[in-house]
Amino acid sequence: MDKSTVIETIQQELDNLFARFSEIKQGGKKIIFTQCDSVPYEVFVAHGFIVSKLPRWVMTALCKPDSSMYKRAVEYCSLADVLIVPQYCTIIPREVLQQLTVHAIQHYEGFAQDAVVNLHTILYLVLQFLGVEQEYPDDDSLKQAVAVYEEIRKIMRALTTMYAAVFTQSQLQLLCDAAFSLVPQQSLQLLQQLYHAVESSTHSDNEPTQKALVYSDFSNWDIYDACNEFDIVIVEDDSCNGRRQFDISCHTSSQNLYYELLYAYSFKSWCPGMRTVHERCELIYKALPNYDIKLVIFIQSFLNSRNEHLQSLYEQCLLQGTDAVILQADAITRQLSHYSTALKARHHFDITVDL
């Protein structure tokens, strides 16, 4: 299949998720929905659960109680035996949370050994909440789950960075949405088809472009296609359920796979509701020069946790010599035009807006 056909199929499968999970539930399988990748899916899959991230349409509808899709989104969430959300930045309304079985994840702190212990404690509490007495997953089951998710992450990293320029931003957002919302084996099969289609039809070029990272929530990415007009290619993002989902890597050959998985997860940047601004700066922003990313585009958010981090991260970028602009979602083209003009004139540019 060619690229367009695979993307259409992915959209169709996302649209069909309600029916698919209804069938799974009727078959007696237990389902876990998550708002984001706040927990390692592999552990729950190894324990026999079906795990899926809420698709973007559900989260968008839940933020709009007056919309026609709100009731459908609540019905979708009710298919889960448990809904896992970050405690400090869940977008799910309180009245909806009261209708569902919910487990809230608090802040993660630190990295490596101490963080692994903390993460294990959190996971075991969730498993006990689900009626699982076994503290650790079966080794073979975990290895199978890790192998599938590792392949999904590897392909997604390639598609959203190496081949980012061949997709529109809305297509990239669709891929990020589908990767962990679809059933893992189905997701992997479709992403493999897409990767082969893109790899066989893409030719390298030497057109000069400026690599950028965009900081935003889960709003529509299609507004970022305006960047193409100014030879700016978004190759990374710090967005809700964006490329950060695919950062980690864990090899199935590890002797203590469970520990290695949690150790890798302890270095995930997560969202501002899960990590401190200092930790997120260390994990993402200080490393940007190593990846030749010379511009960070900050977009104001409706999420307070994101806006609270925005100014500190903006200042860190400027201190380390990385260009940074704070834009309003409804004025991106005009403001990027000002930035491009100033850049060509080699002038310092600052278009911050009041938060």
Reply yes or no on whether the pLDDT at 122 is more than 50.
Answer: yes
For the whole model, what pTM was predicted?
0.89
Q: What pLDDT score was predicted for residue 314? A: 93
For residue 118, is it within any domain? Answer: yes
Does the pLDDT at position 210 exceed 90? Answer: no
pLDDT exceeds 90 at position 142: yes
| Segments forming the whole domain that contains residue 110 | 3-344
Q: In which residue are the tokens 């984001």 written?
A: 36
Answer yes or no: is 353 within a domain: no
CATH number at residue 291: 3.40.50.11900
Cβ atoms of 5 and 13 within 8 Å: the answer is no
Residue 113 has pLDDT above 80, yes or no: yes
Task: Please report the DSSP string for 292-350 in residue order.
Answer: T--EEEEE--S-HHHHHHHHHHHHHHHHTT-EEEEE-GGGHHHHHHHHHHHHHTT----
The pLDDT of residue 351 = 47
pLDDT tens-digit series, residues 41-55: 999 999 999 999 999
Instruction: Tell me the average pLDDT of the chain.
Output: 88
Does any domain span residue 39? yes
Residue-level length of the chain: 355
Burial bucket for residue 178 (CB in 10 Å: 0-12, 13-18, 19+): buried
Mean pLDDT of 86-107: 81
pLDDT of residue 202: 66
- 351 part of a folded domain: no
Reported confidence tier of residue 27, pLDDT bands at 50, 70, 90: very high
Kindly report, residue by residue over 277-328, the tens digit of the pLDDT.
999 999 999 999 998 998 999 988 777 778 888 999 999 999 999 999 888 8
* Least confident span in 163-177, 198-212, 324-338: 198-212
pLDDT greater than 70 at residue 349: no
What is the four-CA torsion angle of 65, 71, 72, 76, rounded to 10 degrees? 90
Give the residue among 287, 286, 160, 296 at the shortest CA–CA distance from 227. 296
Per-residue tokens: 287: 């490393």
Q: What is the structure's pLDDT at 353?
A: 43
The answer on pLDDT for 209 being more than 60 is yes
Q: Is residue 355 part of a domain?
A: no
What is the C-alpha separation between 213 and 224, in angstroms, rounded?
Answer: 11
For residues 240 and 171, the model is more confident at 171
Residue 354 is assigned to a structural domain of this protein: no
| pLDDT value at residue 354 | 44
81, HSE (Cβ side, Cα atoms, 13 Å): 18
pLDDT value of residue 355? 40
pLDDT of residue 207: 57
- pLDDT at position 232, please? 86
**Number of domains forming the structure of the chain:** 1
In this structure, are strands 210-215 and 323-327 parallel, antiparallel, or unpaired? Answer: unpaired
Residues in a beta bridge with 113: none
- Considering only residues 226 and 18, tell me which one the structure prediction assigns the higher pLDDT: 18
Convert the pLDDT of each residue in 180-206 to its tens digit: 999 999 999 999 999 999 988 766 555
Assess if residue 349 is contained within a domain.
no
Taken in order 211, 166, 57, 262, the sign of the CA dihedral is negative
pLDDT for res 181: 97
pLDDT for the residue numbered 344: 66
Percent of residues, the chain, with pLDDT higher than 90: 51
Q: Please tell me the predicted confidence (pLDDT) of residue 204.
A: 57
Within-domain flag for 304: yes
Candidate from 161-175, 200-214, 218-232, 315-329 with smallest mean pLDDT: 200-214
